Structure 1
Amino acid sequence: MDKPGEMMVFVRVVEAGGFSAAARQLGLTPSAVSKAVGRIEDRLGVRLFQRTTRSLGLTEEGHAFYERSARILQDIEEAEHAVARISGLASGVLRINAAVAFFTYQVVPLLPEFLERNPLMQVQLTITDRVVDLVEEGADLGIRMGARFESRLVSRLLAETRRILVAAPGYLQRHGAPQGPADLAGHNCLAWTGEQSRLNDWQFTGPNGVIAIRAGGNAEVNNGETLYEMTRAGLGIARISEFRVGADIRAGRLVPLLTDCHLSEPVPIHAVYPHRQHLAPKVRAFVDFLVQKFTPSPPWSTDVSPVGRADAAAPAAVDNRSAKADDDSRQPA
């Protein structure tokens, strides 16, 4: 590791508040981080940190070295940005955090084209359904589903998706297709467990307002990809994001159901990144690329999206396993 690299490690340790946190952000082992700082201390002949069992603080020399080092690294970054603006080329490692399903199925297929357009760039991916602190994890960019994220982040809308009721043709051949929400009582509706069980309340428009059907059947799962595969296998009816099933619907592998009355709010998909005085060209290049690919109509869009959520009071919940009456017998919203 060269001197600027060691300097960057030292600054990250200070800003992350510890060796382990810095190691996670940099993709290094704690031992490698400790050795890099040790080489600086040996070269300078001073201790940069005051280490105790409970805390890590800077010495007077450490404070002085941090202030100058942070300024130097900022100057290097601004110099690279200036050259990139002149040349029009983005460069460097882009660290991205994103949810598993959306990134895997909608963004990964686009990466070859993006990296071919930007040959001086690399991507480092942290793909997890756990919401992480982008600043703490050292990420440049996050792809987030939904409208909630930290106020200190800047956001840009990329696209929207909806959840669609679908079933495999084989399942419908055996059991028939529901013609209305009440018919779901006679069907196997695949449900979520755990934190995602809130998605088991399926809402529909009815003659007297909004109807809520509680999904239930002979299988529950806590993983979206498994839910998708169970549906593809013909186990039952499921409510799955359009970005995951759009291609299957167009290919006839899955059939959309009750699209004339199923209510589904659009779910926004944002690119988010920490607020900085200058947006790094590598971040701007990737966000602009995704906006170009996902607007005005995203590639997963179908012409069978459910209707939007009605402006109504909370509907009464009905368990699909006991819902036997016609639609107009439901409690209105």
Structure 2
Amino acid sequence: METLVTLESFIRSAQSSSFSAAARTLGLTPAAVSQNVARLETNLGVRLFQRSTRGLTLTEPGQRLLREASSGLDVLQTAIANVAMTAGQPAGMLKVSMSPAFGQNFVLPLLGDFFTRYPGIVPDWHFDNRPVDIINEGFDAAIGGGFELPTGLAARELARAHIIAVAAPSYVAKIKPPRKPADLKDFDGILMRSPHNGRIRTWPLRNRAGEQVAVEMRPRMLLNDPEACTNCAVMGLGITFTATLNALPHLQAGRLVRLLPDWYADIGPISIYYAGHKQLPAKTRVFVDFIIDSFKRQGLAKQLSAS
């Protein structure tokens, strides 16, 4: 009978086509994952992977084993996680991805209440501006926008992601504030370059009447991180377009002011994503419910709305 660790080493390696990637997900060394897979191949008497310098390719027996064993592994892991409870409470490591600004400003402040309610859960939170592959990278959940929703994932919307124009009071004091989006072309723009494709990001603005316009600004600087753009605006270096989740703490503290308050861009939902199967681990289920309930109680969706 194969052990859970050998089967999981095979399945995670097959999903990522890499022993190294599987090792990161499992918290093992690449050598240990490779040995687990080799042990499984020996016990089954078949080769599961074709190995090359370019990575791993499943053989026909490997494809069949992945197809038949992966769903069973998920069910077993969920059953084990739900049994491994501390004093009847959900327990275990909770691996979640979220953007740095969102996580630090809106999720970390909830930790105290979460620990009080679920002392057996250990947060393993990753702050990253990229949409992660929840299944293949071994995450229990992710919070953000721009995720594809393949089969097997579920999503619950927390708020809308709105983009607004902001600048520091010191910068605004030196200019004649813009009255319409077209006026922005005359000012110093702190522009965002996409870290994924290198293009300068632009957002069509709309107002409450439903009008929509494209906006151009003179580039004063180009950055590839939204928090960096926001911080440069706080320094009084120009005007930037940033998400309300990045700007809100600075707006509340008076370090930034919103320009063109009737105009904003809606770039989609901020959602919490998780595996959609019925046997969701208790630690993940209570985390999802906790985040949704906390956002509702604190009215965070309204605070993040630019409309």
TM > 0.5 fold call: yes
Deviates more, 1:105-114 or 1:135-144: 105-114
Structure 2 residue matching 1:213: 3-state secondary structure: coil
CA offset at residue 51 of structure 1?
5.7
Contact 1:189/1:215 (<8 A) preserved: yes
- Matched AA of 1:95: K
Cα contact 2:203–2:214 (8 A) shared by 1: yes
AA matched with 1:93: M
- Alignment equivalent of 1:216, drawn from 206, 215, 218: 218
Give the superposition deviation at 1:14.
5.9
Is this contact kept in 2: 1:200–1:215, CA < 8 A? no
* Aligned equivalent of 2:248, options 242, 246, 253: 246
Report the equivalent of 2:133.
133
User: For structure 1, which runs of at least 5 residues remain unmatched after alignment?
Assistant: 308-333
Counterpart residue number, 1:113: 113
The superposition leaves residues 124-164 of structure 1 with CA deviations (integer Å, 9 ceiling, x where unpaired) of: 23433333322211222122314743243111112223112
2:79 aligned partner: 78
1:277-296 matched pairs, under 5 angstroms: 277-295=278-296
Aligned match of 1:91: 91
Question: For the pair shown, which has the larger CA radius of gyration, 1 or 2?
Answer: 1
Contact kept? 1:162, 1:241, Cα under 8 Å: yes
Structure 1 window deviating more from structure 2 (153-162 vs 48-57): it is: 48-57
Amino acid at match of 2:135: V
**What is the CA–CA distance in structure 2 between the aligned matches of 1:100 and 1:282, rounded to whole Å?**
22
Match of 1:322 in 2: none
**Separation in structure 2 between the aligned mates of residue 17 and residue 285 of structure 1, nearest angstrom:** 32
Deviation at residue 196 of structure 1 after TM alignment: 7.2
- How many pairs are equivalent? 296
Map 1:179-194; keep pairs closer than 5 Å.
179-194=179-194
CA contact (8 A) 1:202 1:215 kept: no
CA shift for structure 1 position 202: 4.6
Cα separation, 1, equivalents of 2:180 and 2:15 = 57
Percent identical pairs in the alignment equals 28
**Aligned equivalents of 2:210, 2:243: Cα separation in 1:** 27
2:89, 2:120 within 8 Å by CA — same for their partners in 1?
Answer: yes
On the 8 A contact 2:158/2:301 being kept in 1, the answer is no
| Cα deviations by residue, 1:95-122 (Å, 9 ceiling, x for unpaired) | 2233333223322332343234212112
Shift in CA distance, 6/245, structure 1 to aligned 2, threshold 3 Å:
same
Per the alignment, in what secondary structure is the counterpart of residue 229 of structure 1? helix
- Alignment correspondent of 1:230: 232
Q: How does 1:1-333 map to 2 (within 5 A)?
A: 5=5, 8-9=8-9, 12-13=12-13, 19-36=19-36, 49=47, 52-54=50-52, 55=57, 74-75=75-76, 77-78=78-79, 80-81=81-82, 89-146=89-146, 148-194=148-194, 195=197, 197=199, 199-205=201-207, 209-260=211-262, 262-265=263-266, 267-295=268-296, 298-299=299-300, 301-302=302-303, 306-307=306-307
Aligned-residue RMSD, C-alpha: 3.8
**In the alignment, residue 223 of structure 1 is paired with which amino acid?**
D
Letter in 2 for 1:132: V
SS in 1 for 2:214: strand
Shift in Å at residue 233 of structure 1?
A: 0.3
* Deviation of the 1:254 alpha carbon: 0.7
> Within 1, Cα distance between the matches of 2:151 and 2:144?
14
